[in-house]
Structure 1
Amino acid sequence: MKALRGLLLLALVLALTGCHTVLMSPSGDLALQQRNLIIIALILMLLIVVPVIITALVFAWHYRASNQKAHYDPEWDHSTIVELMIWSAPLLIIIALGAVTWVSSHKLDPYRPLDRLGPGRVVAVDTKPLEVDVVALDWKWLFIYPEQNVAVVNELAAPVDRPIHFNLTASTVMNSFFIPALAGQIYAMPGMQTTLQAVINKPGDYWGFSANYSGAGFSYMNFTFHGMSEDDFAKWVAHAKSGGGTLDHAEYTKLEAPSQREPVRYYGSVAPGLYASILNRCVQPGAGCMNMLRMSEPPSGAEAAASSDNHAAMPMAHP
């Protein structure tokens, strides 16, 4: 029985050695800083948890029934030293966690432009981020590169050590864009735009997926993110340009239809203003764009009253 237990334990250890914890070994600086935040928070909490566990075990051992040397005092009810330890240590931990959380919440804001590429490497003033428009479809991902004028389904690429500026939206329901090796997840919602600033520091192929349930084909909303050199990225763009036709409003309408297990697809050019039409939900001919509808909304009650008063105060023209 002992031998079987030992073999099971050995098998468990060997199985765990094959695990690849992407969150704990990321390849992007933003994800690296988030990893460090997790470790710092864990250590701060363990400063309380570990001593409490050890103290509980020591007390149980020291005051066991068979230990006649343990001092038993049923009248004991207060100790100032114990009270100070009980309250001061957790209070200091909470203050430290609060300070770390406050600083990190602002520093790691996904909307905040990057100020560094990695530890000790600042972003040059003249560095231009790579712009990528992301659209969550049912059930696939569409990536539009406005500067390169290409679009790709279920494949993403970016040069190493170049800031990436993602603009995200969705076609029908809320979704979540997540590349664990690059940065934290960010939601994509129809009729709204969210932003993610990130950078990849190591070349390689990384897993990206949807982290928010969005229907029957949710499990197949996966894609590959390629981190590559500037030269390889230029070759990838050239390959995308030669791989397909134009992604215009009519083609997008076909692509928008729900489908599962969609293969990688390239579009050599993109119709001007397509992403803006997707964002403002006016891809279909004759549909009113949301941004234009907002501009034409009637004034509020107070504004209407003020306009009426001004109109009444204006002199009338007489024939």
Structure 2
Amino acid sequence: MSGGKMLRQIHFWILAALTTVLLSGCGSEYLVLNPKGPVAETQYNLIIISTILCAVIIVPVLALTAFIVYRYRDKPDNKAPYKPEWAHNTALEAIWWGIPVVIIAILGYFTVRDTYVLKESPNKEVAPMTVQVTALDWKWMFTYPEQNIATVNHLEIPVGVPVHFQISAEAPMNSFWVPSLGGQVYAMAGMATELYLQADEPGEYAGFSSNFSGEKFAHMQFKVVAKPKEEFDQWVKEVKGTSPAMTKEDYNELKKQGLSEKKLYSAFPEGLFEEIVQRYSHGHDMDHVMKKQPAPTGDKSKETSQETQQSTDMSNMHGMDHSSMKH
């Protein structure tokens, strides 16, 4: 065996050994490819469609490349024809331009369709719950405006209920990501971005910071606990009954650079999230994100309460009319 061939084989086995070692650190569960909710399911389907459409181009190109390298390799007895003056071929031009155009059009259709779907609540029959997310250095703060509780590096949500996340930052730009439930969305100071997620089954899901934001950003991890609605309500009661209330001083300590353990608060300063957003918004209108969510089509209780309120308003108006006529 020649020295050059032996050296190439040594290189091959070294690379194979390094690949084995590196891949051994990969877990058996790929979070992005194991969706646990309707948002993640939609994105997973889009990934599969995109992969198939890309493979339609990539696989034939790689196969043709290998064939051409082999067929037209330089050797003395190679009988492949040599045509340096090869003429224009309309049929081939139509193939290698037409197929990619068609594939891009198909991929564009599915991408646009799913993008608009993901901007809305995944479940129109259930009222979404709002959770406000604030990225700090280097921790995540979650405030629940409807329950009036707050948590740090810990998030609990009810199963089967869409969660409307309002996301901002009082720190360098970051990215909020729960791979098992959906894709990432950026958290930016002075802006409020939004994201809908929903867990279809109870469990614990990993949350991450997926954007470099400083020395210890890799430690900006949190746990998402999805549990049945009754258990979630019980958890809220426990937090309100056993945890301290967050003060402005507590928040000022939280926003300082540094890591933090899991924290629970039975209350938080009113309008804290809105204040954080407006502090750096420079007059930008964020009402399109922070507005109240409409009642779901299947929520009869809210429809009834709205009708009752309308009746009360009408009665008050009639009373005012009679009163005006008497005067």
Q: TM-score range by the shorter chain?
A: 0.7 to 0.9
Match of residue 35 from structure 1: 44
Q: How big is the shift at 1:5?
A: 5.3
Distance in 1 (CA, whole Å) between partners of 2:77 and 2:51 is 36
Match of residue 140 from structure 2: 141
Tell me whether 1:58 sits opposite 2:67 in the alignment.
yes
Opposite residue 203 of structure 2, the aligned amino acid is G
CA contact (8 A) 1:248 1:274 kept: no
Distance in 1 (CA, whole Å) between partners of 2:79 and 2:244 is 87
Q: 1:17–1:137: structure 2 CA closer, same or farther, 3 Å change rule?
A: closer
Aligned to 1:45, what secondary structure does the other structure show? Answer: helix
Tell me whether 1:99 sits opposite 2:97 in the alignment.
no
* 1:256-310: CA deviation from partner (whole Å, max 9, x where unpaired): 22221x111111122322322233239xxxxxx9669x9xxxxxxxxxxxxxxxx
Match of residue 48 from structure 1: 57
Q: How big is the shift at 1:103?
A: 2.0
Distance in 1 (CA, whole Å) between partners of 2:166 and 2:115 is 20
Q: How big is the shift at 1:212?
A: 1.8
Moved more, 142-151 or 90-99: 90-99
CA contact (8 A) 2:203 2:226 kept: yes
* 1:48-90: CA deviation from partner (whole Å, max 9, x where unpaired): 1111111222233344546666455555423332222222212
Give runs of aligned pairs for residues 1-319 of structure 1, distance below 5 A. Answer: 8=17, 15=24, 18-64=27-73, 65=75, 70-73=80-83, 75-108=85-118, 112-116=119-123, 123-124=124-125, 127-260=126-259, 262-281=260-279
Q: What TM-score, normalized to structure 1?
A: 0.75
* 1:104-138: CA deviation from partner (whole Å, max 9, x where unpaired): 33222xxx22244xxxxxx31xx211111111112
The CA RMSD over aligned residues, in Å, is 3.2
Q: How big is the shift at 1:15?
A: 2.9
Q: How big is the shift at 1:44?
A: 0.9
Q: How big is the shift at 1:11?
A: 5.1
Distance in 1 (CA, whole Å) between partners of 2:29 and 2:140 is 25
Opposite residue 172 of structure 1, the aligned amino acid is A
Opposite residue 269 of structure 2, the aligned amino acid is A
Q: How big is the shift at 1:162?
A: 0.6
CA contact (8 A) 2:245 2:265 kept: yes
Match of residue 311 from structure 1: none
User: What is the percentage of aligned positions where both structures have the same residue?
Assistant: 37
Q: How big is the shift at 1:188?
A: 1.6
Aligned to 1:246, what secondary structure does the other structure show? Answer: coil
CA contact (8 A) 1:243 1:266 kept: no
Q: Identify the structure with the greater helix proportion.
A: 2
Distance in 1 (CA, whole Å) between partners of 2:202 and 2:273 is 28
CA contact (8 A) 2:139 2:153 kept: yes
Q: 1:12–1:19: structure 2 CA closer, same or farther, 3 Å change rule?
A: farther
CA contact (8 A) 2:122 2:162 kept: no
Distance in 2 (CA, whole Å) between partners of 1:190 and 1:14 is 37
Distance in 2 (CA, whole Å) between partners of 1:171 and 1:19 is 36
CA contact (8 A) 2:121 2:128 kept: no
Q: How big is the shift at 1:242?
A: 2.9
* Structure 1: gaps (5+ residues): 117-122, 283-288, 295-319
Q: What TM-score, normalized to structure 2?
A: 0.74
Distance in 2 (CA, whole Å) between partners of 1:101 and 1:167 is 23
